[in-house]
Structure 1
Amino acid sequence: MRRLHFDLHNGTGFTSDKEGRELADEEDARDVAIRSIRSILSEEVLRGMVDLTGWIDIRNEAGIEIGRVTFSEAVCLRLDPGDRDDSGASRQT
């Protein structure tokens, strides 16, 4: 286990994760980042505006960035009823 930090960059600015979380590997860290982004976006949906321009940087105990997850990677957008791309990627027309 190692302590990883999740720094948020979004429309409200930058939030540094000073506490971090103990996780087994980068795959677990990516899952945490995706769940965090989806939680943020769910709150935005309730307010009627979704901003997909943000991201979360994942860094190790030494402060070195080891990964990044963008908001647009965390969701699949279907923008019209005929949009049925099941690849998991967002499609925009």
Structure 2
Amino acid sequence: MKLGLLLFLIGIEGFILNNKNLILMLICLEIMLLATTVLVLTFSITFDDLFAHIYALYIIILAGAESAIGLAILVAFYRLRGEISLSSPS
């Protein structure tokens, strides 16, 4: 359980500190989803609940879809602006 909480806190901290770089924001979002999956599976084993395994599978599917859509938006953003950084162009 401590591992899941640590991963989630690392993901939140990275998301807040790297708010200028879209790729790092997507990576931090994936870390937070992974941490949520680890916590769900930990509680599933603790309480011997099979439905939590199915819920963890849905979280993993959601993370994959989020990555695909996020990278597609990132490619469109790069084609539009010519850079990935969220800071205003100088």
Please report the TM-score for the alignment, with normalisation by the length of structure 1. 0.34
Q: Specify the structure having the higher radius of gyration (Cα).
A: 2
Which one has more relative contact order, counting CA pairs under 8 Å at least 6 apart? 2
